[in-house]
Amino acid sequence: MTEMNSHWMPFTPNRAFKEAPRMFERAEGNYMITSDGKKVLDTTAGLWCMNAGHGRKEVADAVHEQMMTLDYAPGFNFGHPKAFEFANRLVDIAPEGIDHVFFTNSGSESVDTAIKMVLNYWNTMGKTSKRRFIAREKAYHGINIGGTSLAGLPANRKGYPSVMPVDFIQHTLDIENNAFSKGLPEHGADKADEVERLVALHGADTIAAVIVEPVVGAGGMIPPPKGYLQRLRDICTKHDILLIFDEVITGFGRTGYPFASQAFGVTPDLMTSAKGITGGMVPMGAVFVSGKMYSDVMANAAPGVEFYHGYTYSGHPIACAAGIAVLDIYEKEGLLTRASGEIGEYWQEALHSLADLDVVVDVRNFGLLGAIEFKADPEAPAGVAPKLFQPLYDAGMMARPIGNCIAMSPPLGITKEEIDFAVATIRDVVTKVFS
């Protein structure tokens, strides 16, 4: 095997991994194939990104052709057709009123771009006191320094300085009142009112934006309570505070709509995205912006560059070519809306069939997202779910352990048979591990 010492792996206990590595060699369809030839169902779509599954020849062909035609073009003061074409295609599927796109290379870059875009907006509009952000407990907004300041997960924020003033509203996970909700839970819309408390405390003239994941991902797959996001929208509108939806996970069909914003009928001012934008096949991200924000900046900025921001690889031709090819697949195969149809229903019922297990204290689902929560154990302060990770993998599926829950987000083309396999495997493994 290749010597493993040089690669410092991300978000991984390096020392333990290198003792007992899990290595993938190939991937096809909805499966990862390990270096010893074992097939593992990709029930997490990689890191919530492989929405169109693996091994898509159409994308490989588009990338190859682009590579041989125009492999790179600088994005500052020069353009190339694919970036404009891809932006137009993205706006076509975006919520009404969100009609501009700024390209980045990842979700973390999208979040940090959105933060700077918001600050640039208020500066341009002469409201320079609006600098404070409101985020939420359990939030994951990537790992760049701005997103780390907005992180509501203690392990991710501890030890790093906040680069701007941030306040946190409480998360909406309420197992006591909402356990085993199918889809959106009933209780908790009033938790949005905490923004009012922070407005009263700091003054709306100091608050730049509120940022939330419409469905919390890495914090434990938590769908929003009914009415919660609309309430946030109303409060933000009332106080002239911008609303950012971090749709890095929820974008591109995960909720049964192109974006969660459309699933919930609530339109933010900005949306951050990445992952499914290229079906996870080429790194890319984008910040979607409302027409109002864009035209306000264009009307009020001093002559010259309106936003001093951009990456060497913003709108990279290869990523744009991959993204266009992936959008074609999404459209041809109906993947952006598949989760709101029969398969989403099937997923929901299959996951909830695990509710009879004694150790299961909650099942949550929305679109093709799901989480199973297990009884906490005081002897396992970091949560009990990590105990399931390796046995599930050994049994042929991937699930992401988060504290006391496992989260799943399969490729959008997952079949009923694959769902049945995942649920039967979880039942089997949970019974063995926790009995």
Ligand X SMILES: Cc1ncc(COP(=O)(O)O)c(C=O)c1O
- Give the binding site for ligand X (CB under 6 A): 47-48, 106-108, 111, 140-142, 213, 217-218, 246, 248-249, 274
Looking at residue 99, what DSSP letter applies?
E
Least distance to ligand X, CB of residue 200, Å: 28
* Nearer to ligand X among residue 217 and residue 253 (C-beta): 217
Tokens at residue 412, please?
């959008």
Q: Of the candidates 130, 167, 136, which has an alpha carbon nearest to the alpha carbon of residue 241?
A: 130
* Nearer to ligand X among residue 146 and residue 383 (C-beta): 146
Looking at residue 362, what DSSP letter applies?
E
- Nearest residue (beta carbon) to ligand X: 107
* φ, ψ of residue 243 in degrees (nearest 5): -115, 125
Question: Which stretch of DSSP H or E encloses residue 317?
Answer: helix 317-332
* Nearer to ligand X among residue 110 and residue 425 (C-beta): 110
Least distance to ligand X, CB of residue 424, Å: 28
* Nearer to ligand X among residue 213 and residue 418 (C-beta): 213
Least distance to ligand X, CB of residue 216, Å: 8
* Nearer to ligand X among residue 99 and residue 247 (C-beta): 247
* Nearer to ligand X among residue 140 and residue 330 (C-beta): 140
Q: Distance between CA atoms of 384 and 365, rounded to whole angstroms?
A: 20
Tokens 């905490």 belong to: 194
Tokens at residue 263, please?
């699933």
| Calculated CA dihedral for residues 377, 381, 385, 390, nearest 10 degrees | -120
Order across the sheet with 24-28: list the strands.
24-28, 31-34, 39-41
Measured CA to CA in angstroms, residue 387 lies from 213, 393, 430, 433, 434 at distances of: 27, 11, 9, 8, 9
Least distance to ligand X, CB of residue 112, Å: 9
Least distance to ligand X, CB of residue 254, Å: 11
* Nearer to ligand X among residue 106 and residue 178 (C-beta): 106
Least distance to ligand X, CB of residue 249, Å: 4
* Cα Rg, the chain, nearest whole Å: 21
Cβ-in-10-Å burial (0-12, 13-18, 19+) of 81 comes to exposed
Least distance to ligand X, CB of residue 163, Å: 16
HSE-up of 23 (CA within 13 Å, CB side)?
12
β-pair type (242-246, 207-212)? parallel
* Nearer to ligand X among residue 10 and residue 126 (C-beta): 10
List strand residue ranges (DSSP E) for 157-278, in order: 166-169, 207-212, 242-246, 270-273
Least distance to ligand X, CB of residue 346, Å: 25
* Nearer to ligand X among residue 101 and residue 430 (C-beta): 101
Q: Distance between CA atoms of 214 and 292, rounded to whole angstroms?
A: 21
* Nearer to ligand X among residue 133 and residue 350 (C-beta): 133
Least distance to ligand X, CB of residue 296, Å: 25
Q: Distance between CA atoms of 299 and 293, rounded to whole angstroms?
A: 10
Q: Distance between CA atoms of 266 and 369, rounded to whole angstroms?
A: 19
Q: Distance between CA atoms of 304 and 381, rounded to whole angstroms?
A: 54
Least distance to ligand X, CB of residue 318, Å: 17
